[in-house]
């Protein structure tokens, strides 16, 4: 079972190969049942990720347009 980004996933439960959304549902269900606690919080988070365009826990640290790798690699100049 592999749960990838977006709606991409692959699974082979009971030797039945699945891919795409059905595999995503199986993988998420398995992972949810494997959690020892906080299942409701995790399930709610997954549901809001489906419904919201951006993560709701985003605090405005990264601009809406994102940051390129080149910008992230730039080091601030320090003057003494």
d(CA 73, CA 38): 36
Average pLDDT for 16-20 = 91
d(CA 80, CA 74): 19
Helix or strand run (H / E) with residue 70: helix 69-73
- The predicted pLDDT at position 49 comes to 77
pLDDT (tens digit per residue) in 22-60: 998 898 888 899 988 889 998 988 888 778 766 655 556
- The predicted pLDDT at position 1 comes to 83
More confident residue, 58 or 2: 2
C-alpha distances out from residue 32 to 24, 40, 43, Å: 12, 9, 7
pLDDT (tens digit per residue) in 64-79: 666 677 777 777 666 6
């Amino acid at each position: 079972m592999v749960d990838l980004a977006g709606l991409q996933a692959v699974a082979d439960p009971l030797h039945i190969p699945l891919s795409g959304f059905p595999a995503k549902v199986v993988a998420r269900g398995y992972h949810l049942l494997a959690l020892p606690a906080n299942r409701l919080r995790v399930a709610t988070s997954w549901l809001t990720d489906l419904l919201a365009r951006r993560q709701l826990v985003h605090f405005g640290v990264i601009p809406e347009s994102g940051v390129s790798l080149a910008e992230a690699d730039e080091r601030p100049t320090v003057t003494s």
